[in-house]
Structures are given as C-alpha cells and as structure tokens.
Amino acid sequence: MPKAKPFEIPKRVVWEAWKRVAANKGAPGVDEKSIEAYRSCLGDNLYTLWNRMSSGSYYPQPVRQVLIPKGEGNFRPLGIPTVADRTAQMVVKMILEPRLERVFHPSSYGYRPKRSAKQAVAQARRNCWNHDWAIDLDIRAFFDTIDHELMMRAVEKHVPEKWIQLYIQRWLESEVELADGTIGTRNCGTPQGGVISPLLANLYLHYAFDHWMQRNHPAIPFERYADDVLCHCRSQKEAEALLEALRERLSDCRLELHPAKTKLVYCKDGKRRAKYAHTRFDFLGFSFHGRTVQDRRGNLFTGFNPAVSRKALKRMNQAVRDLKIHRRTSLTLQELAALLNPMVRGWVGYYGTFYPEPLRRFLVRLDLRLGRWARKKYKTLRRRKQRSWAWLKRCRKSSPRLFVHWEYLFS
C-alpha cells in the first residue's frame, strides 16, 4: 500500500492552476523553460510538481530579476518565477483568494476579482468633491521592504494549512538571479511579478493600513490600489494629524513614506479658493486638479476632476513613436489599423472614462502620423500635406470605424 503524503493537495487543483498560468502566458524563469516547453511534457511536469508539494520537498528556484524602466532614469525590479513555481503559487492563490476576499476592505481595489483601477478613480473623484483635502501617500519601495516576520504573522492568522505556510515562507525567502547572472539573497520583500505577491501585498497592507484606518479613523474615507493610497479629510488640521499618525503606524509595520512624493493636496475648484502649495495629484495614471466643466444646463464651472496624466500621455506618445508608423509603407491602411487599434482601444477604454478632452487632443495627433505615412507611401501625396489630409478625411468618411480613435473622436 503506497505511503500517504504528508500534505493533501488535490491533483485537480494543480491542473486548474496550470491552466490559469498558461492563459496568463509570461516569460520563462531562470530555467529558461517557456510555457510551450513546459506544456510539451505536461503530464510529467505537473505530476512532479504535485508530488513535491504533497511531500513537502518542493523548493522554489531563484526568481529571475528584470529591471523595468519607470521614467526619469529609475527602474522597477520585476521578479519572474519559473513556470513550475508560478503554477505552485497559483495553487495557493486559488485556495487563499476566496478566503481573504471576505476579509479585505471595500476600499481596497488592487489585484482583486471584480475590482478595477477605474472604480478606485471614480471613488476618489466623489471623495474629492466632498472633502477639501487629500493625502497622496507614497510608500517607498513597498514590495521590496515587506517584513517577512510580520507577513507570516498575517498569513498564519488566516491560513491553518501548514503546507501553505511552509511554501509562502519559502517563496518569500527564495533567492534572486540578478541581471548579471549572480545569485542574491532576500531577507525582506516579495518580488513583483510573482503570482502570489499581489495577494500577499494586499494582506500585509490590510493590517498595516486598511484595518488600522477602519479601527482608528472610521470617518475618513480612502482608496487603495496595492500601494497607491489616497485619504480624504475635511480640514488641513485633520489631514496633517492623520499624516503624522500614518507615518508612525507604517514605521511600526517596517514601512516608510517617501518624503518627497507624499503630500497634502488642497482640492481647489470654483468654490474652494484658498491658497496652498499643492492643488493637484496623480493617481493610477490620472491627474486630479481643477478643470473647466459644463453642467447639464450648459453653465461652465471649475470642478476638481481626473483626466489622463502628463506622465501617461508621455508614455503613450513614446509607444506610438516606437511603432515608427511613417516607415511602415509596406503596410496597407487596414494593416496599420490592426497594428494601432489594440493599443488605442486600451487607452480609450481606460483614460476616456473621465474628462476625456486631454485624451482627445492626443488622439487627434495620431492622424498627423497617418498623414505622414500616406505622403511617404503614395507618390501623388508626397510633399502635399493638404492633399494628404483630404485623402485621410475621405478614408475616414468611407470607413469611420477602421481606426479606434476615429470612432471615438468623430462618431
């Protein structure tokens, strides 16, 4: 009779976890084994993983670190586990996520099922209308500074399964393969890019921030998307007192507020006209500040509203420039639309939700690039801008839905 495994992990859960990892795709880890390579021996690979997890002999491989540019010469370290390790983490996530969803605060929006960044932005907009002051919190290097001891205390509070505790501890402490090939150790933090990391990060901040706010400042609303946090206060005095309390609280949780990026913001609009150094902030790709808007009766007024931020516009513009549209003269207009539309559709779906005028001005400029492409492709249009604009206008009239931005701007 075969010896029973120390841990009972259903094979079906491992299979379902693999399917989710495969659907998410992703790059290979340190073993250089891609999704397709793992799939080629799927039965053996999944059995081996299940066997090791069930026996307690599963140890994760080092996480491959990739540095992602984040602007101004700075980089965000992204950790890429192997396909096997991502599958193992997905097994745990599938078990823990429904359990923790019942615990998490309703104003936490990041990396949670049926919740989105747009919902967080919409709530922030409503709270800014009703509160004169906002605290824009920036936690310095949050994912890299999570304290492992405090993290495991939070895990043990909700996880009686010893095997889940064991593997979370091993994932937290797993080594990192740096860009130069050297192996580094980690005594704090959880790698961004891991399947389980967002769930663990939410659990950590649930106790470091959400639960603390609910217990100590229940009347102060907030929005949190992972480590992006806004709090809303009715007075400057209340905001200053809360900020000082938050510094102390996060310090107790081994976290630090960024001194330059954390700030108090006065939500200045047509009715709130006091002077203050900071009257705008960025949140989840949107810039909040006073803007001219029109009410239902056609009257103009200044409202505190979100629109696509300058940083987001800069990233979008760089993405379009990287396509080098004017050089793709071998493509037809239809093929060019197929290349451009998926990217623009995402921008419109996200940034077009609130105060769309800055986004519209950016999208209008896409036609300038299409006009330049047309002048390089067709001899009859070369060095004749007006004729190329007329040609593009005829194309837009005959096929108004060919480009996503045409349908958005002119329908």
- CATH number, position 87: 3.90.1850.10
Q: What is the pLDDT of residues 308-363, one digit of tens each?
A: 999 999 999 999 999 999 999 999 999 999 999 999 999 999 999 999 999 999 99
Residue 340 token pair: 């451009």
In a shared domain, residues 247 and 313: no
Asked whether the predicted pLDDT for residue 1 surpasses 50, the reply is: no
Domain region containing 71: 9-255
Q: Does residue 21 fall inside a structural domain?
A: yes
In a shared domain, residues 191 and 54: yes
Q: Does residue 347 fall inside a structural domain?
A: yes
The residue length of the chain stands at 411
Asked whether the predicted pLDDT for residue 34 surpasses 90, the reply is: yes
In a shared domain, residues 75 and 214: yes
In a shared domain, residues 16 and 156: yes
DSSP secondary structure letters along 273-316: ----S---EEETTEEEEEEEEE-TTS-EEEEEEEEE-HHHHHHH
Q: What is the pLDDT of residues 108-167, one digit of tens each?
A: 999 999 999 999 999 999 999 999 999 999 999 999 999 999 999 999 999 999 999 999
This prediction has a pTM of 0.92
Contacts of 136 (CB under 8 A, 6+ apart): 230, 261, 262, 263, 264, 265, 281, 282, 283
Q: Does residue 152 fall inside a structural domain?
A: yes
Q: What is the pLDDT of residues 188-233, one digit of tens each?
A: 988 888 999 999 999 999 999 999 999 999 999 999 999 999 999 9
Domain count, the chain: 2
In a shared domain, residues 57 and 196: yes
Q: Does residue 244 fall inside a structural domain?
A: yes
Q: What pLDDT, on the 0 to 100 scale, is given for residue 3?
A: 61
In a shared domain, residues 224 and 343: no
Quick check: 142 and 201 in contact, CB under 8 A? yes
In a shared domain, residues 251 and 312: no
In a shared domain, residues 121 and 35: yes
Residue 32 token pair: 């250089």
Asked whether the predicted pLDDT for residue 299 surpasses 60, the reply is: yes
Quick check: 63 and 80 in contact, CB under 8 A? yes
Q: Does residue 280 fall inside a structural domain?
A: no
Q: Does residue 246 fall inside a structural domain?
A: yes
In a shared domain, residues 18 and 159: yes
Q: What is d(CA 128, CA 268) in angstroms, rounded to the nearest whole number?
A: 10
Q: Does residue 170 fall inside a structural domain?
A: yes
Q: What pLDDT, on the 0 to 100 scale, is given for residue 2?
A: 54
Q: Residues 269, 275, 276, 281: what is their CA dihedral angle, to the nearest 10 degrees?
A: 20
List, in sequence order, every residue forming a beta bridge with 288; answer none if it has no partner: 281, 306
